[in-house]
Structure 1
Amino acid sequence: MKIQAFLIPRMWRVPVGCAVTAVLPPFNFLTLHYVYFIATCLIASVIFYSTSTQWVSVTYVDSLFLCVSAMTGVGMNTINLSTLNSFQQAILFVLLILGSSVLVSSAVFMVRKRAFDAKFKGISDARAKEHASRRASALEMNGCETQPESIGVPGSNDVETSTSSKPDAKTSVTVQPLPVEIDDQIQRSDDDQVTMSDIRSRNNHHHHHHRVFPMAGVGARPDLNNHPNDTTPNVPLYREYSQSALKGVLRGSQKYLTSKSLISRNSQFHGLTSAEREVLGGVEYKAVSFLSWIVPIYLFMFLFLGMMGMGGWLALNHPDLARTNGLAPFWTGAFFAVSAFVNSGMSLLDANMTALQLNAYPLLTLGMLILAGNTLYPCFLRFIIWTMRQMLPDRPAWQSWRVTLDFILDHPRRVYTNLFPARHTWYLLGTIIILNGIDWAAFELLSIGNKSIQVLPTEYRVLDGFFQALAVRAGGFYVVNIADLRQGLLVLYVLMMYVSAYPVLVTIRNTNVYEERSLGIYADDEESSETQPTQKSNVIMDLIRHHMGRPGFSESSRGYFVHQQLRSQLSHDIWWIALAVLFIAIAESDHYDAEPVAFATFNIIFEVVSAYGCVGVSVGYPGQNFSFCGAWHPISKLILAAVALRGRHRGLPVAIDKAIMLPNESLAWAEEEDAVIRKERAQAWGMDRMPVESV
């Protein structure tokens, strides 16, 4: 009876525990990101609502919406911000900074740096114990002192003197034996290399929990074992590389490691021993430590200079604009600068930027801040690091810094989500120039004959068009009345707001170190025989395979990855936007009956897409200076706030991203497995018979 009484509770505890685990999201980067934003907005909204003055009626729904709008960078306002008291304006000011992507990424640096410190401390302690044990044994056996061995952080001083297992010229790396429980699961082939079926068997070896909220990021496959096994030791999977099999795809890593290890695309290091992994970790640690200083300095300098510039200019040139709204001029200009850098578009002036549409300095300054804080932030940051690398003197004392900066420039996605290789950075710059150029040209062309725009002087009409092009994709400001623009231009703005995050988003995921693993392309189903190419391949067949969604290798597979990510992102976005428009249109039916023009469905779509894109441009409401959503019912405002939170997280990397994962002993498996599969795919597609120029 006692045994049965013990077993019965345990029997029902297991399924209950599994059910709870399935409902709760996993503890990872995306989950923490959501928790940070939601918790901060809830706490700030309570403080915001409780500090309202008696003569200003701010409901809790409006308080919550304003806090979410500031935190997510949407910038829409349901009431005129000039009517808020100074403390409430200060809350929004702080939330703008707390929600900045630059600041949030700085926090990731700090967490990863602490994890590196803990890992290296463990390595140093283990070496110290080993040294003490060897010294005690030597004293006991020989009765004499032994020379102490150097102990330190791997790769922290000189990367060329830290490797302990140097491979010979014929074989790349000698591998440590696998644990018995894992080795039993892996059947090796004749050449002692791991095959595709071996990796599938290892991936299926562990039990997976399917979750309601997988929090794996857009495009990731939560049904596959994408995460490396945390219990697996840090050892390579196979002993020897065939250089010819990956000819033209791999390049050596002698710049950072004195070994014959290789680097494949997206900065995947493989073929490293455990000692070489420690050295590589030391180089990454110095890179993370360097960026943990550079990124906060970047944030502080742009905010400080922007606030000083805009605050001082407004106080000296047009203090009457702020005082008309009952505001301090310097505070109003400083709020403008911060709002521009975080790409929010919030303004303490009721007229937003239309009050400054004939002033070149604020338009150019805020335009530069918009670019530096979001769309061109990766380009600005890489240019700063590249400039620092060029300025370093060519002396032995600076060798360590040169290696660190070279590693950041050569392999940026191993250390930071918003820093890309040179080629992708140029692509991003070109994409931003083209998209903004289209917006600018459309503004000028579609404003011909528009009396509300033609009244502006020609030089300022051109400058206003340039600023509006920058603001409509991310900045959120409006320099002219949006409702007065032509219908075709408004439709173009909807499309541009929808794709506002795509250039950076696609670049982040296309340069992910664990790109294949995050997409789950190594599924268990075998490829059909019809997908296998013949020995004779040509450009036409490669293009057919590419457009049919069948990946080849190298560049063709990159196109496949981009295609998969775009398709996943589109399907992810469209449901949220469609459902939000549907529910809001239902909730605002009575307003539509009373004011069919103001509450037209297109205006609702415009507002929802602007919130989801975290842009904040609004068609407004007749007779009021706040956003169109300010005239909505409370339930519609709550739906739009949820849309804004979801849209703020759509541009984040997937859960399996080297730049957001803590350093642990399982990451080597991910790179080594990907290298094995990539090699087998190359051999299957006959890439070992292709010349280098065709790769």
Structure 2
Amino acid sequence: MHTLPIFRKWWRHIGNAIMAVLPPVNFLTLHYFYFTATCIIASIIFYLTSTPWQSVAYVDSIFMCVSAMTGAGLNTVDLSTLNTFQQAILFTLLILGHAILISLTVLVVRKRAFEAKFKGVSDERERERSTRNPSQVEMQVQEPVQGSTGTDLSGENGEGHGCKPRPKTSVLVQMKPGESSSREEQLWLDDDQKTIGGTPRHHHHRVFPMAGIGARPDLHNHPRDAVPNVPLVAKDSVSGFKGMLRGTQKYMASKGLVSRNSQFHDLTPAERDELGGVEYKAVSFLSVVVFLYFILFIIFGMIGVGGWLEANDPAVTRTNGLSPFWTGAFFAVSAFVNSGMSLLDANMTALQLNAYPLLTMGLLILAGNTLFPCFLRFIIWTMRIMLPDRPKWQSWRITLDFILEHPRRVYTNLFPARHTWYLLGTIIILNGIDWAAFELLSIGNKDIESLPTEYRVLDGLFQALAVRAGGFYVVTIADLRQGLLVLYVLMMYVSAYPVTLTMRNTNVYEERSLGIYAHDESPDSPANTSRSNVVMDLIRHHLGRPGLSETSRGYFVHQQLRSQLSHDLWWIALAVFFIAIRESDHYESQPVAFSTFNIIFEVVSAYGCVGVSLGFPGKNYSFCGAWHTISKLILAAVALRGRHRGLPVAIDKAIMLPSESLAWAEEEDAAMRRDRSRAWAQEHGPVGSV
């Protein structure tokens, strides 16, 4: 009789102990689980379907599946020797692991979550109507919640949420309906820059804690426990704030405010619901656009490259016993997902004198990865300017305007205009450096100079695009000069940085994810007024400057870069160390082929999910194909880890499901930023004062 309660107690303790050591359930852990489980299942099928039986070892099966799924693109066996079903498995994994498909899944899940939330709100209101009289319902709607009515800067805590009301001592910031909503007149609310009166209070409770990469936002804290400190604003401050405000009237009937990185605050609960409706329309629209983008690029790429090979050069594929169209289709998908896998043993060197496939696949490489945010924003911007200026299109205009002006509230890979231009400029500069280095450092290289001049230039451009993400090689990499190979290592390492840093720098909860709250740069600061030096702007944007103060935007980029470097370097260093130890016997027999630099090159290529390899003498597969089993497994783990370095942090509006906690987090962040601004202003004096 007494054993059952004791058993339950011990079972509960065991369960709690297990949960304590397991990683938290968030986007990052789910992403890891999806990739790991899919690769294991696919590798078993891959291994069991090999012909003849066990012709492909299981370690090679798991490595090939991980390489395809992560986009690493390295191969330990020649793909031409695999049967068609095994090739189809790799083809499927290339698509299933692509970042655009993952982000599309997030959009669909968030869309369903919005629908469930709206249905819950509707059902709750129906229950309230049936259980309460009209006057009670009306009073509940009118009660302010957590600090703001959306029309004032002070806010008040509604009794309906268990908080004591504060006397209303703020002033309203009126904005006429006819006021211009242009970029020049609707500036961001730089609460970080204004001197705000009032006595600061300390925060003891956060809606969810501030944390970095892979952190778990604690959404179990009830938002009523997190009372934001909303500052008091004197009437004579209105004129000072008027030019610094960007309101929400363009999207809904509200006088709420928008601060850095599209944080909406000073909204009533009803306005929060209306904002959720706008976000729902934006997410629904993007889920369709991204799906069409993904599908159409793949379909047209397969038709374009596969059809060209079928019609113009079928012999090059039949030497490997392959179908021309299937080979071209595999090429196109591999280019779009930035894998670099090829059914041809010679990779793209077999097509180095053909302009069409090089240009087409170069476009697919850009469209599927580094320039995806730029292409997507251009498509949406084009759709916006093409909309007729008629009342029936008003809802569409609001939706597209919201997406273009606040993209990171709804999607991870869509950025504001300024950041998109920075990203485009950075990619052009990095690819330009690679292209110029290829041409200059190949002077005197007989293997490269044997190519016709026009194709040597084109091959240099394609290799520049491929070495940062695509993973293909149009010339034999081992034949290139040592200096160019060192440059390629650096470029492969930083391949994910432009998009990743831009993604994290535009995160709605960037301050919370870093644990830093700072005020934005003044519009009159040198960082904003000096726009002539584009190169220095790009460097400043992505790398920050030494000695940055916490008052600058560059400070946040600097912190993001430091966080990313600490996330990357130790994995690469440990992998190189252990692989070098295991391959020491190979090094003794073949010191040139198994040099430490070659190992570093392979590890960085795997971690960057690039796929370029120095190869192994006399073999068509990647250098890692000649390694021992444990070294292959280490490299597979490195590729899996590297695939996750470009993900958004756990605290990111675009991947989190809509909830009351997120809304309160924005109010709390705004209040904490105002506290920071007040402290800064007390030290430096009011912004704009003489």
AA partner of residue 87 (structure 1): F
Cα distance in 2, alignment partners of residues 86 and 21 from structure 1: 43
Kindly indicate whether the alpha-carbon contact (under 8 Å) linking 1:166 and 1:258 is maintained by their aligned counterparts in 2.
no
Cα distance in 2, alignment partners of residues 619 and 64 from structure 1: 22
AA partner of residue 656 (structure 1): I
Cα distance in 2, alignment partners of residues 347 and 134 from structure 1: 67
1:198 equivalenced with 2:202 (yes/no): yes
Q: Deviations over 1:279-305 (max 9, x none)?
A: 000000000011111101000000000
| Change in CA separation of 1:23 and 1:359 when aligned onto 2, cut-off 3 Å | same
Kindly indicate whether the alpha-carbon contact (under 8 Å) linking 2:513 and 2:651 is maintained by their aligned counterparts in 1.
yes
1:547 equivalenced with 2:546 (yes/no): yes
Cα distance in 1, alignment partners of residues 166 and 123 from structure 2: 36
Residue number among 376, 379, 396 corresponding to 1:381 in the alignment: 376
- SS of residue in 2 equivalent to 1:375: coil
| Change in CA separation of 1:168 and 1:53 when aligned onto 2, cut-off 3 Å | closer
Cα distance in 2, alignment partners of residues 422 and 241 from structure 1: 33
Deviation at 1:633, TM superposition (A): 0.5
Residue in 1 that maps onto 2:159:
177
Residue in 1 that maps onto 2:396:
401
- SS of residue in 2 equivalent to 1:453: helix
Residue number among 60, 70, 76 corresponding to 1:72 in the alignment: 70
Q: Deviations over 1:252-284 (max 9, x none)?
A: 111112222100010000000000000000000
The aligned runs of 1:185-224 (5 Å cut-off) are 197-199=201-203, 201-203=204-206, 218=213
AA partner of residue 296 (structure 2): M
Residue in 2 that maps onto 1:28:
26
| Change in CA separation of 1:23 and 1:168 when aligned onto 2, cut-off 3 Å | closer
Residue in 2 that maps onto 1:232:
223
Residue in 1 that maps onto 2:355:
360
Residue in 2 that maps onto 1:410:
405
AA partner of residue 289 (structure 1): S
Cα distance in 2, alignment partners of residues 681 and 235 from structure 1: 17
The number of aligned residues is 632
AA partner of residue 106 (structure 2): V
The aligned runs of 1:89-488 (5 Å cut-off) are 89-133=87-131, 175-177=157-159, 179-180=161-162, 183=163, 197-199=201-203, 201-203=204-206, 218=213, 227-232=218-223, 237=228, 242=233, 249-488=244-483
AA partner of residue 547 (structure 2): M
Kindly indicate whether the alpha-carbon contact (under 8 Å) linking 1:175 and 1:238 is maintained by their aligned counterparts in 2.
no
Cα distance in 2, alignment partners of residues 169 and 190 from structure 1: 12
Superposition TM-score, scaled by structure 2 size: 0.85
Deviation at 1:382, TM superposition (A): 0.4
| Change in CA separation of 1:166 and 1:177 when aligned onto 2, cut-off 3 Å | closer
Deviation at 1:565, TM superposition (A): 1.1
- SS of residue in 1 equivalent to 2:258: strand
Q: Which runs of no fewer than 5 residues in structure 1 stay unpaired? A: 139-147, 155-164, 209-213, 532-536
Cα distance in 2, alignment partners of residues 240 and 273 from structure 1: 17
After superposition, the CA RMSD in angstroms is 3.4
Kindly indicate whether the alpha-carbon contact (under 8 Å) linking 2:489 and 2:604 is maintained by their aligned counterparts in 1.
yes
- SS of residue in 2 equivalent to 1:26: coil
Residue in 2 that maps onto 1:145:
none
Using the aligned pairs only, state the percent identity: 69
Kindly indicate whether the alpha-carbon contact (under 8 Å) linking 2:469 and 2:492 is maintained by their aligned counterparts in 1.
yes
| Change in CA separation of 1:198 and 1:328 when aligned onto 2, cut-off 3 Å | same
Deviation at 1:576, TM superposition (A): 0.2
- SS of residue in 2 equivalent to 1:252: coil
Residue in 2 that maps onto 1:637:
632
Cα distance in 1, alignment partners of residues 53 and 151 from structure 2: 81
| Change in CA separation of 1:240 and 1:682 when aligned onto 2, cut-off 3 Å | closer
AA partner of residue 112 (structure 2): R
Residue number among 65, 81, 103 corresponding to 1:83 in the alignment: 81
Deviation at 1:572, TM superposition (A): 1.4
Residue in 2 that maps onto 1:690:
687
AA partner of residue 517 (structure 1): R
The aligned runs of 1:512-523 (5 Å cut-off) are 512-521=507-516
AA partner of residue 198 (structure 1): H
Kindly indicate whether the alpha-carbon contact (under 8 Å) linking 1:614 and 1:644 is maintained by their aligned counterparts in 2.
yes
Q: Which runs of no fewer than 5 residues in structure 2 stay unpaired? A: 142-146, 171-196, 528-539
Residue number among 45, 48, 51 corresponding to 1:50 in the alignment: 48
Kindly indicate whether the alpha-carbon contact (under 8 Å) linking 1:308 and 1:334 is maintained by their aligned counterparts in 2.
yes
Cα distance in 1, alignment partners of residues 100 and 475 from structure 2: 29
| Change in CA separation of 1:247 and 1:495 when aligned onto 2, cut-off 3 Å | farther
AA partner of residue 202 (structure 1): H
- SS of residue in 1 equivalent to 2:475: coil
Kindly indicate whether the alpha-carbon contact (under 8 Å) linking 1:234 and 1:274 is maintained by their aligned counterparts in 2.
no
Residue number among 616, 622, 645 corresponding to 1:621 in the alignment: 616
| Change in CA separation of 1:189 and 1:18 when aligned onto 2, cut-off 3 Å | farther
Deviation at 1:176, TM superposition (A): 2.1
Superposition TM-score, scaled by structure 1 size: 0.85
Deviation at 1:350, TM superposition (A): 0.2
- SS of residue in 2 equivalent to 1:496: helix
Deviation at 1:313, TM superposition (A): 0.1
AA partner of residue 57 (structure 1): S
Cα distance in 1, alignment partners of residues 461 and 640 from structure 2: 29
AA partner of residue 383 (structure 2): M
- SS of residue in 2 equivalent to 1:276: helix
Kindly indicate whether the alpha-carbon contact (under 8 Å) linking 1:106 and 1:295 is maintained by their aligned counterparts in 2.
yes
